[in-house]
Structure 1
């Protein structure tokens, strides 16, 4: 009887996790889908996107769809996105992050841009495990080069932990995000997985990728694989 009850508890636990993930709030699913769409378009325009050499060295990828400077000034939605990091057996399940402090000249309440951050060192992973990371302070950062064969050849680019990009009207360009802060969004991450879970566990590969985020992680992995194949030539 005890064995039966124990088996039943295990079965319920195994089933509960996928069910909780399947009930992820729609706003989180939309954020993941928007992030996936940005990366998918990036891959479709290699001559105007992130260089394959940069993709090959990626340790973490952060995507912030529709970052609005005006919203940040008035205390509203400033920028929320998705992050994944490379593990020993592929790319991790995603976590949610927030970002604030951009100062790249948009009119208040007006325009928005999509941001992509490429973490290129193991330190970039460690920084994402902190509650708050200040770009240019805690972690070195530089606007990334653009184009199929462009390389991070200058000293500043070569030493940067994060290379940063913006996208407007389908065109990617390097962007200066010195002074911006990236924060963990623990609440939304917990809502995606159906329970409280640490960034460390997720980004180190300790959580399976939810079905609603599988396409995002798959696209990051494809971008990384294309970069590695290009570098091996």
Structure 2
């Protein structure tokens, strides 16, 4: 009887673990598809679109969505995905991350913040190897020029490590950004890709081959924008 009970406990634990893994897979797919939709929406709007001059020099692209809710101390929590351009010139598979920030001041109601971070150097994406990257602190960041204001593009601005694009109103190209952070979310990536590798290996290695169909659209779209 004890053996049967022990077996049932082990079986139940395995089923729970499988359910958690399936939840992570569905969550991963939803987040990647949401981030792809955000990037497409940005590029379809000249007021928000990222110029080709910026994209062709990109070393990595981070897309995030966050929801702010609070009074007094505004807390933003959300998620995103990162892709890097590897040494062979090909874009990596997407890796899911967490995103957030805190702001002090009167915050009423809720606001959804969508952002695209175009990383212009090879060092900055690797800051995530340590687990967390603070935007504008660990690497300089500034709001980037849009298609509608491409004349504001200049070499000095293009040399900023992180160019930020957001659905916030009232921002202007070149303004310094010191807000927000992104962190690793290794468990959800391991669950989806069914590997024991974490962010560094998934971004810069070739351990997932062929590319799963669910993530191929975002890889192909980013490749189209920045061949």
Q: TM-score, normalised by structure 1?
A: 0.73
Q: CA deviation at 1:124?
A: 1.9
CA contact (8 A) 1:102 1:180 kept: yes
Q: Which residue number corresponds to residue 44 of structure 1?
A: 44
- SS of equivalent to 2:69: helix
Report how many residues are paired: 201
Q: Which has the higher contact order (CA 8 A, sep 6+)?
A: 1
Cross-structure match for 2:84: 85
Contact 1:64/1:114 (CA < 8 Å) preserved in 2?
Answer: yes
Q: Aligned with 2:146: secondary structure? A: coil
| Equivalent in the alignment of 1:181 | 181
Query: For the Cα contact (< 8 Å) 1:43–1:223, is it kept in 2?
Result: no
Alpha-carbon spacing, 1:176–1:114, altered in 2? closer, same or farther (3 Å): farther
Q: 1:50 aligns to what SS in structure 2?
A: coil
Larger Rg belongs to? 2
Which position in structure 2 is the counterpart of 1:9? none
TM-score by length of 2: 0.75
Query: What does 1:163-182 correspond to in 2, within 5 Å?
Result: 163-167=163-167, 177-182=177-182
Counterparts in 2 of 1:103 and 1:165: CA distance versus 1, 3 Å: farther
Q: Which residue of 1 aligns with 2:224?
A: 222
Kindly state the Cα deviation for residue 110 of structure 1 after the two structures are TM-superposed: 0.9
Structure 2 residues not aligned, in runs of 5+: 1-20
Which residue is equivalent to 1:6? Answer: none
Task: Structure 1: give runs of 5+ residues left out of the alignment.
Answer: 1-20, 226-233
Give the corresponding residue for 2:159: 159
What's the CA shift string for 1:175-212, capped at 9, x where partnerless? 86414221111111112112331212111142333221
- Counterpart contact for 2:48–2:165, Cα < 8 Å: no
